[in-house]
Structure 1
């Protein structure tokens, strides 16, 4: 597939609708991406042709549903460059994936252990580790950022020690768009804290480029389907097989057992042991369709296009009197977070919405990060592959109107 922005936009039905009588300008992609027709069709086909529960059925529909569901696991494994398909665990999204790891780690942490996170964390990758450390009596440490929103890599390295048992970090900050050098950071962890396990929160990183868990050399990578043009309510946790094969179970029930008596039970092999109950079968099929659609795009051109969107936003922001950019790390993608001097972000969002422009306002589930930056929250425009330079310019036309109305 060539990168033709008009042809790509035509595949997203929602982009043709109007909001408040104005053409929709959708700039809330860090919260969720829109869905191409290929994904919508995959969901409709599943429910229309072979809706059934998987694995245990003794009939044709169940066999077909199982084939589509397990094919989706293969698609995810190939997409991440996993060594084994059993390393892919279906979840409801990034948050559940991180919780699976954190709940298991809480059973293994000792009182003198340390867990290292960063100041860039979404609450899903902060509160979970905060609570795991409280349960185990371990210590949570936080690697600081620089004033431009980039991770302080020297401070990160200095916080690692023989006591570090776990490191969790975002691939890309949802609030600032900062891209972490996860491969280099993992290498530093391996050198300074060889026993530590590493988790990458890939919620924001997965839709902006190729993710290779072998190159990153992490132990866990979690992401959500809905931020990758797929359905809501489904995601995947990749884990290194040698780590996952005896990981503490997350939920108990059907599918995940090997044997059960009234007195005891034993757990099955991966991936079943971490996938109790009926899964989101249609969601997995839809996520596979999204990955196959996305993977057909020319990645180099996708990255160039997204870089141009951010560059244009930064350039227009520099010309906009009274606008303060929040987060300007050298490596940044997808997110333009800002404030208009003297105007509450929520008011900015309201005025933009009346012009058909969808952004997000608030603390973006990153309250400690906002406190570190000295702001209660920001207005956040976030871009995806179907956004255009014209839409970036429409954003700033809208901001000028907001400033006129609210100043």
Structure 2
């Protein structure tokens, strides 16, 4: 069998040994539930979760109480829609304008689009330039602005701080929501500089485990009732147990947004992933190598610029699923399809594309071999 070359880091990162060790040690030696007990082991797990939350906060220059653990970016984006649509806090988005862009992943745009389909709000598009960068000039006025910090197809970082500032000039009360799932892998995040209201990313993209995400909330106490309900997020209930009009007193953030048992094992492994990524960002010179070599091939059309974090392409006359199957049979793992980003593919005029993405584990030998395989398949 051919050696497997994993060049699909943008879909999910391989796990560093330090993350695996941290999770295994927790499961074998320290496991207990968090926030549910007063024994020494349970208290120790509470401390582990608190330290992990603090590590995430430092990673993005936030406060620990602004960090909410979710199951991933998709979960976070859906929850944000419900949080800001809560009538109790007076910030419902009925009859409001939501600005999105053609760079958006389905998970960033669909939750808002479904609301718009039910006539609750309307859409406007953020303008893009000829290089598929979101433009700060000419922004329409919006009440909610969804910003993709880095497209999972184009792979270039966007000027999030500039976009937020430009949107606030049109509407000082605009709610800004940032999808940082791809951006966080290659760039440092400073939410203070971005000045966004919400931001999400997934742990598995940065080398931690699946089933865990981060939702940053700039002003967690601004929002009224949480969007999920269960154990650990209510501090007091007044009224009879059988009354329907009982009054709930929520815990302070982030607890009021974290109903039920957290993904403990994944959270315990997260600090190790953050440390590893901070010291071992993906080598984007490998992407430049692919660009310099394959952009010269007349059978290949390259979508991404040379300085992208991704190498995205297609071969005219060959379906991308066929391309993916052929390179996969030769041991090359890359992503093919619409990348759950249909809108940018419509702009590009293609049904789908093939994407190469590198992680800290990849070497020049990997991309040289990948280029050999791709060239042999498209000739």
TM-score by length of 1: 0.86
Unaligned runs of 5+ in 1: 1-20
Q: Name the CA distance, whole Å, in 2 between partners of 1:223 and 1:110.
A: 23
1:69 aligns with 49
- Secondary structure of the corresponding residue to residue 38 of structure 2: coil
- Secondary structure of the corresponding residue to residue 207 of structure 1: helix
Aligned pairs (5 A) from 1:311-350: 311-328=288-305, 332-350=307-325
Distance 1:55 1:245, change over 3 A: farther
Q: 1:112 deviation in Å?
A: 3.7
After superposition, give the CA deviation of every residue in 1:220-239 in whole Å (9 maximum; x if it has no partner): 11010000010000011011
- Secondary structure of the corresponding residue to residue 380 of structure 1: strand
Distance 1:209 1:110, change over 3 A: closer
Q: Name the CA distance, whole Å, in 1 between partners of 2:185 and 2:224.
A: 28
1:109 aligns with 92
Selected match of 1:119 from 81, 102, 117? 102
Distance 1:292 1:244, change over 3 A: farther
Selected match of 1:291 from 274, 282, 295? 274
- Secondary structure of the corresponding residue to residue 283 of structure 1: helix
1:46 aligns with 26
Q: 1:359 deviation in Å?
A: 0.3
Answer yes or no: is 1:150 the counterpart of 2:138.
Answer: no
8 Å Cα contact 2:139/2:166 also seen in 1: no
Q: Name the CA distance, whole Å, in 2 between partners of 1:158 and 1:334.
A: 26
2:209 aligns with 231
After superposition, give the CA deviation of every residue in 1:368-403 in whole Å (9 maximum; x if it has no partner): 221121100001111222222222221210012212
**RMSD of the TM alignment (CA)?**
1.8
1:100 aligns with 79
Unaligned runs of 5+ in 2: none
TM-score by length of 2: 0.92
Q: 1:111 deviation in Å?
A: 4.2
8 Å Cα contact 1:117/1:168 also seen in 2: yes
Q: 1:147 deviation in Å?
A: 4.1
Distance 1:289 1:314, change over 3 A: same
Aligned pairs (5 A) from 1:6-25: 21-25=1-5
1:271 aligns with 254
2:183 aligns with 205
Answer yes or no: is 1:60 the counterpart of 2:37.
Answer: no
Selected match of 2:68 from 84, 89, 93? 89
Q: 1:146 deviation in Å?
A: 3.5
Q: Name the CA distance, whole Å, in 1 between partners of 2:326 and 2:175.
A: 45
Q: Give the aligned length.
A: 369
8 Å Cα contact 1:90/1:236 also seen in 2: yes
